[in-house]
Amino acid sequence: MMSRILPFALLLIAIGTCIRTGRSLSPTEKAAWKLVSAPPMSGLNSKSIDILTLGHRGIFDDIATIWIIQFLGDKELVKKSSAEDVYKAINSFTRHQPRLEGIYLLSCFVLALDFSHPEYCQSISVDGLKAFPDSWRIPMTQGFIASFKLQDDLKAAAFYQIAASRPNSPEYVARLAKRLSERGFANGQDLNETIDMLSEVPGGTRIIEILRDRMSNQVTPPRPGGIQ
């Protein structure tokens, strides 16, 4: 019985402490308060967190998610924090591969759209795909970022292809992946970085084979710099 009650008690204590601390700060202390910081215990390894939560990892995931959503939703976030600090705080959590799909999507959109730093999204998305191997929303989001924010058609195609291979993904995703990959090959973009990324993603090996097949079927090899 205690093994079930204790983790929930720890959650309530942590939330209560955060609320009480925030309310008791003076105006001067609030001005000096660091808006963005890593969630409690996120600096530990995943095994240690499992031990401290008595096997109830969901408790840690819930606490850390509340912690991160608090600063991601703050209207002063862009003014008071840097993209690097936000990324480091988020990555300290996502590296544990929490089972909360929305945190990967929200984090990526904030970094790419609010801070205009889409390059921070990929490692977050890869963590998300390790936690949710069947997700199509995570690779779909990363495909969008790669295409519209990074202008990297080939990498976007790879992520859209991952999304298309997942159960229940929309039918148009596969068509979009094909168009983007063909455009990327026509522009002479290098496959190496894309292949390195895919090697970290569950199911990515099959996507690498598809991309290599398409590259080998090119009738006219692209010239350096994308000039035909």
Average pLDDT over residues 60-76: 90
How many angstroms separate the CA atoms of 117 and 154, rounded?
A: 19
Average pLDDT over residues 17-33: 44
Most confident of 107-111, 178-182, 195-199, 220-224: 107-111
pLDDT tier for residue 142 given thresholds of 50, 70 and 90? very high
pTM greater than 0.85: no
Average pLDDT over residues 147-161: 88
pLDDT tier for residue 207 given thresholds of 50, 70 and 90? low
pLDDT surpassing 60 at residue 25:
no
